[in-house]
Amino acid sequence: IEAKQTFLVSSASQQPRILRFPATTHFVALKMYSLSSQKKYWTFKTEQELTELRLKQNHNFITKHGAGMTEEQKLAHFLTADEERLLLKQYELQLKEFCKRFEPPMPKYVVGTAFHYFKRFYLNNSSMDYHPKEILATCVYLSCKVEEFNVSITQFVANIKGDRVKAMDIILSNELLLMQELNYYLTIHNPIRPIEGFLIDIKTRCNMSNPDRLRPGIEDFIDKTFLTDAPLMYAPSQIALAAVLHAASKEQENLDSYVTESLFGAAKDKLPVLIEAVRRVRSMVRTIELPQKERVRFLEKKLEKCRNQENNPDSQIYKQRMKKMYEDEDDLDVMGSSYHMNVSDASLDVSQLNTTNPANITID
């Protein structure tokens, strides 16, 4: 499916800009997850793959910024890959709470998309390079746009405590960076629709009384999956089925026959793969470990010392870089207006020449 080649991005000055991307950019949703960019590029087979990607980003950052340090000095100064992972879990909890308190109330699929963006971004980047608190807000804002949850940047930052003008600048300056790191694959398939499909199907083909009573348990389970790597490893339908089965077991309902006979009666060869996927998703949710506050505070302080100052909005290096960028943009604007003026003047002179003396043509 060919994609739109433009994307509207707001600016801090409220002047919208049109960004143009290559024709291969994909914003349009593929109807089936199995054919989607999410399946092709952002679904991983094992947790080991994810671990290796995170280790790579951590190693690359330390190698670049820790030149001349001993191994002991690097260990004391920089975050390890495990420390980064722990800190990112804390920010995932903050993302969840931010979306929960958001006004107007945010739909679940917008929250799910924001989580996907956040997780994907830190497969390609270190938290020492881009602070999670800044990327978190940008992920939610971009998710609102992509999922057509219509809130302006002013409405959005009204949900943020502190300096809202500064927050607006950070979000808008990081927006294009985030899209680039996502490879412009912005369409996310969340488990929300499969869940609705399962509930309708259960009402039709199962003897369970009032399947809607499963909803609270399902929603709680889905919220917890966002705190795991399940969205990066399993299909939305597999996560949805795991949520339904989990909620059913909490209600002392058994849906085994529904799965084996109704869902997979004609495709029993696929059943073992599904059962294993559901088992792994439920295991991930069951074994979630929340970060300890004391440990998080220590890592936050460590991050402030070792983060890339070029990407720190409070640093002089960052402010100088942004000032230079704006000055360069102003210079380009001046050059552009000057060019148009000269072209206009030249056209006028030629017009006057031809009018006053049409025969005034010299051929060498």
Residue 27 and residue 3 in contact, taking contact as beta carbons nearer than 8 Å: yes
Q: Angle 164-181/132-146 helices, nearest 10 degrees?
A: 70
Domains 39-188 and 191-287 share a fold: yes
Strand partners, 17: 9
Q: How high is the pLDDT of residue 330? A: 58
Q: Decide: 122 and 54 in contact? Cβ < 8 Å.
A: yes
CA 198 → CA 171, 192, 267, distances in Å? 37, 10, 17
- CATH homologous superfamily, domain 39-188: Cyclin-like (1.10.472.10)
Q: What is d(CA 132, CA 225) in angstroms, rounded to the nearest whole number?
A: 19
Extended strands (E) in the chain: 6-9, 17-20
Q: 152: how many CB neighbours lie within 10 A of its CB? A: 11
* Residue ranges per structural domain of the chain: 39-188, 191-287
Q: How many CA atoms lie within 13 A of 158 on its CB side?
A: 9
Q: Select from 183, 155, 153 the least CA-distant residue to 12.
A: 153
Q: What secondary structure does DSSP assign to 244-294, as a single string?
A: HHHHHHHTT---HHIIIIIITTT-GGGHHHHHHHHHHHHHHHHT--PPPHH
* pLDDT tens, per residue, the chain with 364 residues: 233 334 444 444 444 444 444 443 333 333 589 899 999 999 999 999 999 999 999 999 999 999 999 999 999 999 999 999 999 999 999 999 999 999 999 999 999 999 999 999 999 999 999 999 999 999 999 999 999 999 999 999 999 999 999 999 999 999 999 999 999 999 999 999 999 999 999 999 988 999 999 999 999 999 999 999 999 999 999 999 999 999 999 999 999 889 988 888 777 888 999 999 999 999 999 999 999 999 999 999 999 999 999 999 888 888 787 777 667 665 565 555 554 544 444 333 433 334 334 333 333 3
Residue 350: the pLDDT is: 33
| 191-287 fold | Cyclin A; domain 1 (1.10.472)
Q: Return the H-helix or E-strand segment holding 338.
A: helix 316-356
pLDDT the model gives residue 85: 97
CA 320 from chain center: how many Å? 28
